Structure 1
Amino acid sequence: MFELNSALKATGIAAAIFMLSGPGYADDIEDSINEALEYYHDGEYKDAVESLNYATQLIQQKKGGELEAFLPEPLDGWSAQPPSSQAAGGAMFGGGVTAERTYSKNASSVTVRIITDSPMMQGMMMMFSNPMFAASDGGKLERVGRQKAIVKFDSDNRQGEINIVVAKRFLVTIEGNDVSAEDLKAYAEAIDYKKLKDMP
């Protein structure tokens, strides 16, 4: 019953979100929630949980699509693949909702990734609260634009990453190969953090 009660708490959130979705998404989410309620009233708790989990998955997919809008356009001289998003299981990026886009320029490549609702946030917050944790992993606490960031860069191999936590809800990661530190910082600064922070 604990699993069912936890799942039922999601129905209120789901009901609020599906009304903001497109008609197709709204119909699918609403249908799944109503189906779950029918199963619940009939005492078919396992089926109720499965229907609620499906509704949750649809909501996460919608959220991932909204995150894609925050991925920057390619910088001058760079090209980019279309953005993509997914609701990942625990084995991928620690779970949660992920949106990412890969950029290239000759042999150089950069991937910008935004993750939310992930258990990874707790560990990253520890690194930001205590620079010793970041240093032990080869990182350095810096400011990139107006954002606090943990920067790791190997100048010999021209590769590295920047991690930024936004509003304690989003983890922004910029990874690059055959790039300069300035390339990574330029992509980090191209994100609209104020709008991301205000995302519902």
Structure 2
Amino acid sequence: MQTNRNVFWALLIPAMLVIGCGSEKDKEEKEEKKKDEESVSALGAVSALKEMASQAEELGKNGPVETVDFRTLKELLPADADGLPRKEATGEKNGAVGFVVSTANGKYANEDGSETIELSLVDGGGSAMMIGLAAWSVVEIDKETEHGYEKTGKMGDNKSYEKYDNANKDGEIALLVNKRFIVSAKGRGVSMDKIKSALEDINLDKLAALK
């Protein structure tokens, strides 16, 4: 009996040491992986900040440009957004310290309000501060989960940002047009295809040509 116990402990102790070493090794590997991910994240953040600074400097060289009257922007809001009638159209111009923004918003919905889309046109006059309003234009994002996705890309010649929640049918898409206009469409209770179609109802060429 004593011999069996000795054999048991002789086998158990090395096994425990192996398991302990394995656990310690796994822990070290996880910590290394975490450090690597943090390093990659930090590098990405630094790269994005550098790009933002570069674009802000480039925009700053042109000096301040007077923004388009919000009434002109309102005229570009379509009467309907991919079949949803417009319920409201508003506009305003505000700002301070040399940074003025003109904005026009249109709200669209079906009869019972279960499907809604909001279109927005923003003009920052090509100011360097525009980078703050469209930070996504200088970074790369590509995420996907079981619930939806978020990504940056391009629509034609314009940098784009899109985000969509499949469960809630809630999403948005935004474009940076001519380095000064931010055009966005946000939808609830609708597909991303419908949100994109609503955005395409805006005459982007005409918008880009405004001065």
Q: Shorter-chain TM-score: which interval?
A: 0.5 to 0.7
* One-letter amino acid of the structure 1 residue matched with residue 103 of structure 2: T
- 2:173 paired with 1:168: no
Percent identical residues? 25
- Alignment partner, residue 122 of structure 1: 131
- Alignment partner, residue 71 of structure 2: 65
Preserved CA contact (<8 Å) 1:96 1:119: no
Preserved CA contact (<8 Å) 1:71 1:101: yes
SS in 2 for 1:83: strand
Deviation at 1:87, TM superposition (A): 1.4
Match of 1:96 among 97, 101, 117: 101
- 2:156 paired with 1:149: no
Q: 1:120 to 1:74 in 2, by over 3 A?
A: farther
Q: Distance in 2 between matches of 1:190 and 1:176?
A: 14
Preserved CA contact (<8 Å) 1:101 1:113: yes
Q: Kindly tell me the number of residue pairs found equivalent between the two proteins.
A: 138
- Alignment partner, residue 177 of structure 1: 188
Q: Which runs of 4+ in 1 moved over 6 A?
A: none
Q: 1:75 to 1:195 in 2, by over 3 A?
A: same
Match of 1:86 among 86, 92, 99: 92
Contiguous gaps of at least 5 residues in structure 2 = 1-63
Q: Deviations over 1:125-151 (max 9, x none)?
A: 54223214x759x63124446643110
- Structure with higher RCO (Cα < 8 A, 6+ apart): 2
Preserved CA contact (<8 Å) 1:174 1:184: yes
Deviation at 1:120, TM superposition (A): 6.1
- Alignment partner, residue 207 of structure 2: 196
Q: 1:161 to 1:76 in 2, by over 3 A?
A: closer
TM-score (ref. length: structure 1)? 0.58
- 2:115 paired with 1:113: no
Q: Distance in 1 between matches of 2:179 and 2:83?
A: 33
From the two aligned structures, give the one with the greater strand fraction.
Answer: 2
Structure with the greater alpha carbon radius of gyration:
2
